[in-house]
Amino acid sequence: MPDQKALLVLEDGTSFTGRAFGAAARSHGEVVFSTAMTGYQEMLTDPSFAGQVLVLTYPLAGNYGINGEDVESRRIRARGLVVHEACDLPSHWRSQMTLHEYLLSEGIPGIAGASSALAAA
């Protein structure tokens, strides 16, 4: 993954800095949280998260990778993903790509390292 900074700016001007992953793109949407421990692929493709920036409160995402079977729809519906740490090397026998590669392939930006500060705000 590239080592570039990313910025999440809320409507009131509050900002959070982290490390970019996924697509190098700008996005916007309502910021929503999920406290689930697993299911990041399902959440990203769930139509109920369409147009939203998804913040995962569980500290690690991407550890079991992405596969073609665990989707709720054919494409990512969320407009962005915020995580504490994005795993660069998934470990699961069904993994076909990393979370970074998945977001990149669909033009969706991600930011790592900002979720803890955002959850505390």
80 band by pLDDT with thresholds 50, 70 and 90? very high
pLDDT > 70? residue 82: yes
> Which pLDDT tens digit goes with each residue over 13-67?
999 999 999 999 999 999 999 999 999 999 999 999 999 999 999 999 999 999 9
Owning domain of residue 84: 17-120
CA pair distance 89, 70, nearest whole angstrom: 18
Q: How far is CA 88 from CA 12, 15, 23, in A?
A: 32, 25, 15
Count of domains for the chain: 1
Cβ contact 91:61 at 8 Å: no
User: CATH number of the domain that 85 lies in?
Assistant: 3.50.30.20
Its pTM stands at 0.93
Residue with tokens 């979720």: 115
3 band by pLDDT with thresholds 50, 70 and 90? confident
